[in-house]
Amino acid sequence: MEDLLKIRNLKLYYRTRRGIVRAVDNVNFDLHRGETLAIVGESGCGKSSTAIAIVRILPRNIDTYEGEIILDGVDIMKMDDERFREEVAWRRISMVFQGAMNALNPVIKIGFQVAEPLIVHGKLSRGEAFDKARELLSLVGLPSFLAERYPHELSGGMKQRVIIAMALALNPEVVILDEPTSALDVITQANIMNLLKRLKREEGLSYIFITHDLALASELADTIIVMYGGKIVEYGTAEQVYLDPKHPYSQKLLASIPTLRTDKKLEFIPCAPPFLVAPPPGCRFHPRCLYAMPVCREKEPIIREIEKDRYVACWLYGG
Amino acid sequence: MRLPLAMLRYLAKRIMLLFTTLVVAVYLTIIIANAGGLIDDILRAQLRYEITSNLARSPGWAQLTEEEQRKIISDRLQAAIQAKGLDRPFLERTFRYLIDALTLSLGRALFITSASGSKAVSDIVIERLPQTVLLFTTGTILYSLIGLLIGLYMARRPGGFFDKVFSVFAVVTQVIPPWFFGILFIMVFAYYLGITPFGGMVSVPPPKDPLIYALDVIYHMALPLFTWIFSLFGAWAYIARNLIIQIAEEDFVNTAKAKGLPDNIVMRRHVLRPSLPPIVTVISLSLIASWQGAIITETVFNWPGLGTLFYQAINSLDAPVVIGLTVIYAYLLVATVLILDLIYSILDPRIRAGRI
């Protein structure tokens, strides 16, 4: 498959009172056209930071923001903010934000919020953009009269559909989904997942799907990235990672998924995820790892290809 | 036609609620201003004293026997009490006062007279109201605008140099009352520099030509106005800054930025627009407060406004004036809140639907 997005040595560090938080630390991955890449991990592992680094919605306390983000052969990190805004933002990479409940402006009509990028980037008139917004609403399975409504008049699932419609307004190549269903009940969640699958098929989208929910990720993902402490610890196809997880962290993560009506003992990983101001030396997972060896405490494992397209950062596989 | 109907229902509900508020507020004021009926005793005692001292000065009084004297005094007192309506039970009278107050028949002052010599409460209040509005409402409008602009500028770079310096200024001016600045500024501008008058509203004697009169008022108004703005715009700028920063952290602002909208559209449409309702509230409430005047600041600048009147009325236990002022103030408050509700329902669709 053709490479659409290549991330190389991406770093995003935040400055805080207690020190520098290395939220995204040397992250590398590729996204192919038409592929869905899921980034999974616990809260605070750097998955959302990776997303905001790609779309350049940065908080004010940035310390380091560097690396290469190559979209179709062009390094978009080299663009200045104005050019990025005009050429890349929403046109080529759009994003569905976490916390869908607040992602819509409460005082502006739905239709206008969906139409807004079309007016600014697509140079459409208000009327044309509104018509297009109605089409987009039908595309995500909402009645088009909702364009005249305000966000508070919609249910959570409907709002999430509106946000997805908004993300599709400019036919982007990459859509980043940051926990798109985390605030919804399971039935609505299933509906949204089906909608995302249908849109991917029909519109030929590529997704970066960020979630803490491995079961949900398996619904959509072709490729899985497992992140821990700001770094990628395992990277492989969904089959490989789900059926035969290599990294001890991935193994634990998979063992912690509940299954219905079976007597499986749910496992959990003792201790808390690392404090990213002062991450543990060596492998960042070693304090919680069952297989920790002396080398894990001293040297950081390098991510290496153990099979074709299968990467793991762990000393068990030779570091 | 779904929307206007919902809006009408909402407004009808609000009017009912506000009217109830008005009635309760006025009734409580009547009871408090009459000290729960205690003023009646004072009034009775005062009537007795007036009648007795008047009679004592009348010729031939000393020739009457004590019995006759007592009878005349008690007859006259009875007549006076009846004339003033003081013979009815207090509770019954409070309701009559309430109806009078609500229909704006404010009655006559006990002691205070207007400059034109009238004892009617409405005359006394109406004479002072424009002077208070001229100074304090103008000041409030100006400091709201200046504060809002500065708040916007502070919110651009929170934690930056300007933001830090101005936050300190805001706290300092908030802690120190306006009249203190008044005294300070009178000392600097009127005493040392001699560029402004010490106080008052017009020169004595007032100029005849209306144009010169207006200029003279502006000349007298400059220093109190400056004081009022100076001591209040900082705190308001700080409030506006915090409101704007809070909204700027909402998810929908991030969404707007990710959409690739230019900064000024993000700011105007997705930050300022949603922060308007609270900003409008704060400004309107300050406007209402401005109609009350400011008791000490008015005294410092010798400004003939409602603040000083209120102070005089409370001091001299002039219940009708206190009640009259409160009634007018309550009416203005209710009217403003109603207008505010209307503006709100236009600004925020959630309120229109009665969700909040």
B45 with B86, same domain?
Answer: yes
Kindly report the CATH number that applies to the domain delimited by A3-107+150-317. Answer: 3.40.50.300
Q: Report in angstroms the alpha-carbon separations of B164 from B146, B168, B176, B237, B326.
A: 18, 7, 19, 13, 40
pLDDT at residue A1, as a whole number: 63
Q: Residue B281 — pLDDT band, cuts 50, 70, 90?
A: confident
Same domain, B276 and B339: yes
State phi, psi for B204 to the nearest 5 degrees: -110, 125
pLDDT confidence of B3, banded at 50, 70, 90?
A: low
Identify the band that residue B29 occupies on the pLDDT scale cut at 50, 70 and 90.
confident
**Cα B342 from chain centre:** 22
Are B238 and B300 within one domain? yes
B299, B153: one domain: yes
Q: Which one of B250, B251, B267, B268 would you mutate to disrupt binding with A, by most A Cβ within 10 Å of its Cβ?
A: B251
Q: Do B269 and A153 touch (CB under 8 A)?
A: no
Tell whether B87 and B59 lie within a shared domain: yes
Quick: pLDDT tens for A221-248: 999 999 998 999 999 999 999 999 999 9
- Asked if residue B226 is part of any domain, the answer here is yes
Question: What is the domain partition of chain A in residue ranges?
Answer: 3-107+150-317
- pLDDT attached to residue B168: 93
Q: Compare all CA atoms of chain A with the CA of B276 and give the residue at the minimum distance.
A: A107
To test the contact with chain A by mutation, choose from B251, B259, B265 the residue with the greatest count of A C-beta atoms within 10 A, namely: B259
Q: Which of residues 239-278 of B touch A (CB under 8 A)?
A: 250-252, 254-262, 265, 269-270, 273-274
The whole-angstrom distance between A161's CA and the closest CA on chain B is 15
Q: How many residues does chain B have?
A: 356
Can you give the pLDDT of all 319 residues of chain A as single tens digits? 678 999 999 999 999 888 899 999 999 999 999 999 999 998 888 999 999 999 999 888 899 999 999 999 999 999 999 999 989 999 999 999 866 678 899 999 999 999 999 999 888 899 999 999 999 999 999 999 999 999 988 988 899 999 999 999 999 999 999 988 887 888 888 988 999 999 999 888 999 999 988 888 988 999 999 999 899 999 999 999 999 999 999 998 888 888 777 777 777 777 777 777 888 888 989 888 888 889 988 888 988 888 888 999 999 887 5
pLDDT score, position A36: 94
Mean pLDDT, to the nearest integer, of B67-92? 82
- B86, B78 contact by CB (below 8 A): no
ipTM of this complex: 0.88
- Which is nearest to A313 in space by CA: A236, A211, A210? A236
Domain count, chain B: 2
Residues B87 and B204 in one domain: no
Domain that holds residue B84: 34-103
Tokens of B96: 């009559």
**pLDDT number for residue B356:** 44
**Which amino acid, one-letter code, is at A133?**
A
- Whether residue B261 sits in one domain with residue B348: yes
CATH code for the domain in which residue B170 is found = 1.10.3720.10
Chain A residue numbers touching B260 (CB-CB < 8 A): 85-86, 88-91, 117, 120-121
